[in-house]
Amino acid sequence: MYSIKVEKLCKSYRKEEKGQGRFGSLRFFFRRKYREIHALRDVSFSIERGEMVGIIGPNGAGKTTLLKILSGVLYPDSGSVSVLGYIPTRREKEFLRSITYFTGQRGFLSLTIWDLPPVDGYELIRHIYGIPESEYRRRLKYLVELLDVEDLIRTPLRKLSLGERTKVELVAALLHFPDLVLLDEPTIGLDIVSQKRLWEFFRLYNEERRATLLITSHYTRDIEELGKRVLILHRGRLLFDGDKKGLAKGLPDRKLVKVVFRSSPPPSLRGWRIEGDTALKQVKKSRLSDELRLISLDDSIIDITIEDPPFEDVIREIFTRGEVNDEVFDGSEKRDQT
């Protein structure tokens, strides 16, 4: 059963363009010019119930626009969207009770109860969703324990740090136990410790509730940590949809060579990245034997490893291809959309 099914989704905006200087402003006042921006272009994919899927792309790739359409906040220009069996833009009551849309740093509590403790906001949410008192207590205990925020929910929101606010905001976003969780840059601005705690929480919520999680980020580390499947958006186009392991095929002719030396690598190494006692280089497969033959003459080497390029390098390469050639990466792991 599909939680989300999207077919040939398109969305464009008109952006006003003003000339420079006072004359440009004057001309703009009498005759405005607009430029059309294609936020999403023929995007198609489907997500099954219980999947945790990462959407990665640079700023302006269309990630937030996509989530807003899935939540019913925006209307698409064309194409079809089905979420949990509903058409999002109809905003039916049962649909709204089944989803949540969480944006890092700008949650429900921050907009309503800045000077009050989060637990007061949770009571308000309980009444909005009509959650029975006993069920509310059970859910609150479950989420508070998962996120380890027992000491925070009775502290005024304005006194909490960014990471602490993000966690108590997540409790508010999930109190109604949604079947679909849309997370828009949930770890933005957080330190690595806070990020790790959120990654673990998302994994546990996904496993225990069988909820579908869709997570956008421009941090490759978020996508590495969460789920098996990744969608890559760039300039509104879906460049890749498949298992993260399939991304390694994005650089099929290269391998990453790591060479560890007893002390520091010799200065004669050219074109290698030096990190302490380790030298790293991406090498074409056809050149591997030549490169290894050259460095093997050095008797200070203590270890050599050959592996696929890092996730971040593969993502960067796919973005570059999309930028230069408007190319959709067609790896063997790409999912069937029919």
Evaluate if residue 328 carries a pLDDT over 60. no
Backbone angles phi, psi at 140, to 5 degrees: -60, -45
Evaluate if residue 26 carries a pLDDT over 50. yes
Evaluate if residue 330 carries a pLDDT over 50. no
> CATH code for 252-307?
3.30.70
Helix/strand/coil (H/E/C) assignment for every residue in 41-68: EEEEEEEECCCEEEEECCCCCCHHHHHH
Classify each residue of 99-137 as buried b or exposed e, where b means 16 or more C-beta atoms within 10 Å of its C-beta: bbbbbbeebbbbeebeeebbbbbbeebbeeeebeeeebe
Confidence class for position 331, pLDDT limits 50, 70, 90? very low
Evaluate if residue 281 carries a pLDDT over 80. yes
CATH class of 2-248: alpha beta
- Mean pLDDT, rounded, for 52-56: 92
pLDDT digits (tens, 9 = 90+) for 305-324: 887 776 667 676 666 665 54
Contact call for residues 45 and 37 (beta carbons, < 8 A):
no
Break the chain into its structural domains and give their ranges.
2-248, 252-307
Evaluate if residue 204 carries a pLDDT over 80. yes
Evaluate if residue 257 carries a pLDDT over 80. yes
Residue scoring higher pLDDT (127 or 28): 127
User: What's the confidence (pLDDT) of residue 17?
Assistant: 67
Mean pLDDT value across the chain: 84
Evaluate if residue 21 carries a pLDDT over 60. yes
User: What's the confidence (pLDDT) of residue 170?
Assistant: 92
Q: What is the CA radius of gyration of the chain?
A: 24
The region of weakest confidence among 14-18, 60-64, 92-96 is 14-18
Instruction: Say which residue the tokens 């009551």 belong to.
Output: 93
Residue type, 167: K
